[in-house]
Amino acid sequence: RKEVEQDPGPFNVPEGATVAFNCTYSNSASQSFFWYRQDCRKEPKLLMSVYSSGNEDGRFTAQLNRASQYISLLIRDSKLSDSATYLCVVNQENRDDKIIFGKGTRLHILP
């Protein structure tokens, strides 16, 4: 099993719809979790951190399930500007490969 796995997509979703992505991780000692957004030919930018209690930022909700070792991202009322690749990031201290990026999930919002 790969350390961090994401469905590569693409997800083609009509504007205004709700879309959800999952990301699974293999190391139960992982300590912190993030969702980054990457636009085409641009650098990744933090979308939100993921906390054990779950967190919400406007139309975006992130959840962490430690028992099943996955994190999720929910986007409500999707906008055309949400079209991007969403990267799951898992950090685990005290390892050479301690920062693991998923390969990303591509999202296309359709007008």
Among 7, 22, 72, 101, binds other proteins (CB under 8 A): 101
Instruction: Name the E strands within the chain.
Output: 4-6, 11-14, 19-25, 32-38, 44-50, 55-57, 60-65, 70-75, 84-91, 99-101, 105-110
Question: Per-residue x/- mask for other proteins, residues 14 to 33, rule CB under 8 A?
Answer: -----------------xx-
Please give the residues from 33 up to 52 whose contact with other proteins meets the rule CB under 8 A: 34, 42-46, 49
Strand 32-38 versus strand 60-65 pairing type:
unpaired
Q: How far is the CB of 68 from other proteins (least distance, A)?
A: 21
Q: Under the rule (CB under 8 A), what is the footprint of other proteins?
A: 31-32, 34, 42-46, 49, 87, 91, 93, 96-99, 101-104
